Structure formats: C-alpha cells, structure tokens
Amino acid sequence: MKPLGRLAALATAALLATACGGGNAAAPAASGPQPLRMTIWTSNEAHLKLFNEIAAEYRKSHPDVGEIKFDPIPFESYTTTLTTQIAGGKAPDLAWILEGSAPDFVSSGALVPLKGVLGKAQGYDLADLTPAATKLWEKDGELYAYPFSTSPFGVFVNEDLLKAAGQKTPEELIKAGKWTWDEALAMNAAVAKKEGKAGLIIRDFDYKNWDNLASFWGGWGARAWSDDGRTCQFNSPEMVEAMTALHKAIFTDKALPGPGTSVDFFAGEAAMTITQISRASLLQDAKFRWDLVPLPAGPKGEYAVFGQAGIGVLKNSPHADLAADFLAFFTDPANSAKLAAYFPPPRAAQLTSETLAKSNPLLKPEQLQRVVIDGIAKGVVKPNHAGQAELAQTVRAALDPLWQPGADVKTVLDGVCAKIQPMLGA
C-alpha cells in the first residue's frame, strides 16, 4: 500500500470501520420511534423546506420513525467531516456523497446495497433509472447509492451588464454559431473594463476546488487523468493550452476576478457564472435580465460536464433498514419529480423539457433541453478517483503557484503530475 496522507488515511479508516460494522452498529436497540439523520451540503431554505415536507409525509404512515433531520455540512469540508463522523462512531443514517468520493465509498463496503429495497418498493420502477446516471454508483451489478442529482454545468448570464458594455448576448452568438470560449472571455473582459464589474465566475472554484475547472478545460479536450485513472494528464498539450488560456483571462484580460476576490453573480455583480440549475432559485427576485445557456464551445468543439451526487445508507447505522425504506420513499417517482426542481433526476421518464419545466418554473423548456437534457446525453462527469480526498489536496497545493501573474503554466502542470503520478497506481 502506498503511503497515504492524513485525510486519505482518515477516510480509509472511517470506511473500513463502517464496512466492518463498527461505530453505531454496536449501539443497543432503542424503543419507540427512531430518529434518522441525513448529512447534506446545502443550507438553501427552499431545498430544506422541500426535504422536510417529504419527510413529514413519510412519517404520517411510519409511526416507527421519529424526527428525520437533514444535517447541513459546509461543502468545502463535507467529505472530511462525514468521514470523521463515521470514524468517531457518529455516522449519519444516510449521507449525500460527492462524485469525487464515489469510488472510495462504493468499493469500501461501507454502504448498504440498494437494489433489493428499491426494487421491492411499490411503484418505484427501478428500471427507469438511466444507466448513465447509475454507473458511478454501481459495483458488481449492485447499486450502492441513489444518484439523486446528475446536473450539467451551464452558464447563467446577466444580459443587462453585457448590453451596457456593448456586447452581444450569448443567445445571439448561439444563433450565429459563434458561442465559443474566445468570444465568451472577450465579452467578460469587456464588462470588467467598461463597467467595472466582474466578468466570469466559475462558482465554487475560488482557486481551491480545482475539479470545477473541468467545466472550462473540457472545451480543450483536457482531462485530469486517463480513463483507467493510472496516468496523470495535467501536463498534456490540451491541458497546457486550456490553463494558459485561463491564466491569460485572469491575469492579463481580467475576464475573471483574481484570487481573493469575492463576487456574487446572483446579486448582479458579474456578467456570467458557471454553475448548475440548483442555483436558479437565487434568481427569483433578480433585478436584471438573465439567461441560461450551455457551456461555450472550445477548440475541440461542443462539450458538457456534469456533477453528480448520490444518497447512500451507511451500513453501521443502527437504523439502516428504516433509512433504506425512507430513501425508497424520498426518491420514488412522485418525490423525484419534486426534487427535480433543484436536482436533475436520474429517471428517464422525467428527463424531458416539459417535465422538468413543471418543477423549474424559472427556467424555460429550451434552456432545460440544451443545458440539462442534452448535457446529460453528451457530458462527462467531473474528475473522480479512488483516494480522491488525498489527490484533491495534492493537486490543489501543486496548482497554487499557477494563481499568480507571470506563472509558468507548463512548469506548474509538470509539477502537478510529478506529485500525483505515484498516487495513481501506474
């Protein structure tokens, strides 16, 4: 076994403890209605309101279930906190799991197999879950987490800022066949120069969460590592070209705000942001005209990238059976349609623009078709790998020298590969 960093060791120990039935599994059986706890990373009031409504409906017909608590953990520390809870014998009953952590959780034996309980749930229609959505969460024919969100990245646009800076809208460029990264970066640079506002925000990147940059470098055909996960590709010609373009856009053209700058697109402070449709609710009371469009085409043409999240039941939960039953209710066709207001569902029957529009009233059917449905069909998932926690920290540290003027992009990216190649198992 290769040496592991502190974070990866913690995650491994935590998952092994779970798989072996440690922690909560040793707790004595309790009488009366049993509480359930699900860790999540959203604190959005609209999301929590919906979750609690679904939970309240479930409890009406399940007197053996007490409080169902949705426990928000900050996104940036989510996996670390979750694995710490597991290792400390305080695992939740259910947990959201990031796509980057999927390989570790699925392979560890930490999660309850779900096909049996979901397949037997009345009216569940397990066969409606699309293979593209479930692939990351399966092993040896078994499903270990329900892919509650398969959400492609799109670009939210402040059309008022673009017009004020004398720029065309992305929709106009799409119709002309000219919606490209060259055009998009030039437009954002113009807004920064002429209006004194920010240009493009890659939301949740903040010069830390580098995997969100896949929504940018995908246009160059760049990848973090090979398909088998054994070869670093951070210093490939495609990645060098993509990161050179990004560096120039940040430090020369000012098309993106630099490190240490806090900007909120949804408050009207930026021209564009790359994010997912779950953020659309923040535009409920927007004071500017806005649009949602697909990612711009890159040198390698059109592309799409999506993030995924699964809901798993922890094996060492003392209420694992109840938790799995609640998961079947939480994700049945009726509740999946409700969750689709924020989280694109894995159900083929619900992946139509008309169906999604019913639960996403702020978005137009054509926006949902181009960004979500077409994005899922042609997209690739964000970078994920066994031992992702340690890899993510190592890549983040190795990329730090890139986020300053005058950085040598190729040298920095060679340094990333020097650091992570021994960790990739080749």
Higher-scoring residue by pLDDT: 259, 30: 259
CB atoms near residue 415 (< 10 Å): 18
Burial of 209: CB neighbours in 10 Å, binned 0-12, 13-18, 19+: middle
The pLDDT-based confidence of 425 (bands split at 50, 70, 90) is: confident
Highest mean pLDDT among 181-185, 280-284, 317-321: 181-185
For 326-351, the pLDDT digits (tens) are: 999 999 999 999 998 889 899 999 99
- CA geometry: angle at 50 spanning 48 and 52, to 5°? 70
Q: What is the pTM of this model?
A: 0.81
Residues 339 and 43: beta-carbon distance below 8 Å: no
Highest mean pLDDT among 128-132, 134-138, 156-160, 390-394: 156-160
For 366-406, the pLDDT digits (tens) are: 999 999 999 988 888 899 888 888 899 999 999 999 999 99
What's residue 359's pLDDT?
80
> Which whole number is the average pLDDT over 179-192?
98
Residue 28 per-residue DSSP state: P
For 219-270, the pLDDT digits (tens) are: 999 999 999 999 999 999 999 999 999 999 999 999 999 999 999 999 999 9
> Which whole number is the average pLDDT over 15-27?
46
pLDDT beyond 70 at 183:
yes
**Strands, DSSP E only, in 105-197?**
138-139, 142-143, 146-152, 154-158
pLDDT beyond 60 at 10:
no
- What's the rounded Cα separation, in Å, for the pair 379 and 214? 11
The pLDDT-based confidence of 9 (bands split at 50, 70, 90) is: very low
- What's the rounded Cα separation, in Å, for the pair 154 and 158? 13
Task: Convert 234-293 into a string of H (helix), E (strand) and C (coil).
Answer: CCCHHHHHHHHHHHHHHHCCCCCCCCCCCCCHHHCCEEEEEECHHHHHHHCCCCCCEEEE
> Which whole number is the average pLDDT over 126-155?
94
What spatial distance separates the first Cα and last Cα of the chain, rounded to whole Å? 13
**Phi, psi (degrees; rounded to nearest 5) at 318:** -70, -10
Radius of gyration of the chain measured on its C-alpha atoms: 22
Q: Which domains does the chain have, with CATH numbers?
A: 6-152+307-381 (3.40.190.10), 154-303+387-423 (3.40.190.10)
What's residue 30's pLDDT?
61
Mean model confidence pLDDT for the chain: 91
pLDDT beyond 50 at 216:
yes
- What's the rounded Cα separation, in Å, for the pair 369 and 45? 26
CB atoms near residue 333 (< 10 Å): 14
- CA–chain centroid gap for 319, Å, is 28
Higher-scoring residue by pLDDT: 93, 343: 93
Pairing label, strands 94-98, 138-139: unpaired
Residues 287 and 266: beta-carbon distance below 8 Å: no
Residue 180 per-residue DSSP state: B
What's residue 23's pLDDT?
42
- H or E segment to which residue 401 belongs: none
